[in-house]
Chain A
Amino acid sequence: MYDYEDGKLDWLAAGLPSEGTNAERPRAGDVARKDVPTCRLDERLGDVRDRVREAGWDACVVLNEERVVFGLLRSKELETDPDRRIEEAMRPGPSTFRPFVSIEEMAAFMIEHDLDSSPITTSDGRLVGLLRRQDAAKAALELHEREHHSDGGKA
């Protein structure tokens, strides 16, 4: 037997697997894209933009050596002067969300606030992935349909 010393909430906050009645309900950490491009503070914006676009993305997460989120480059920031350093061009200290947050709640907030993407991090700020609005909305809709059909339409 192994006791996870940091407790259940930290286990969930780190995006580690869970069991039980609610384990099958998708969470922000399950839907967040782990392949999101990342960059460092001292890189040149033009180089990062080329790399991000080549990978088919329009956002990039700025990390330090420990994978802690320092900033975010959405399409608006990526389109600025290519000679700027990332440190100057990024949106610093973006709002981040924990992996265990319900995908339905995240989708509703992202739609209400017209937000394209949100970084999902552990409680100590390390990147889990980037949650995109269309992925969150799709997962929330699928969950709604699955639950509606599983009760035989009695609701």
Chain B
Amino acid sequence: MSEQQVAMACAKCESSIDRCEFCEELGCGTPICYQCLAEALRQAMAHPHQHGG
């Protein structure tokens, strides 16, 4: 990790992240990781079948 990088933790799951996945700011007060964001916005929904039906 470089000196300029600041350790951040996801406000929901506390996993370590480089930046907030929503606002992309290093100094975000409520940083969120990609997985929690995808879940919160329901962006990543599993397909019921592999062929996408």
Interface set of A (CB-CB < 8 Å, partner B): 5-10, 91, 94-95, 97-98, 101-102, 105-106, 109, 112-115
B20 at the interface (CB under 8 A from A): yes
Complex CA distance for A87 and B42, rounded to whole angstroms? 31
Complex interface: chain B residues within 8 A of A115 (CB): 22-23
Complex interface: chain B residues within 8 A of A109 (CB): 22, 40-41
Interface set of B (CB-CB < 8 Å, partner A): 20-25, 28, 30, 37, 40-43, 45, 47, 51-53
Shortest B34–chain A CB gap in Å is 9
Complex interface: chain A residues within 8 A of B20 (CB): 113
Question: B47 near A97 (CB under 8 angstroms)?
Answer: no
Complex interface: chain B residues within 8 A of A98 (CB): 41, 43
Question: B23 near A97 (CB under 8 angstroms)?
Answer: no
Supposing A7-B47, A91-B24, A115-B22 touch, asked if A97 and B41 sit within 8 A by C-beta, the answer is yes
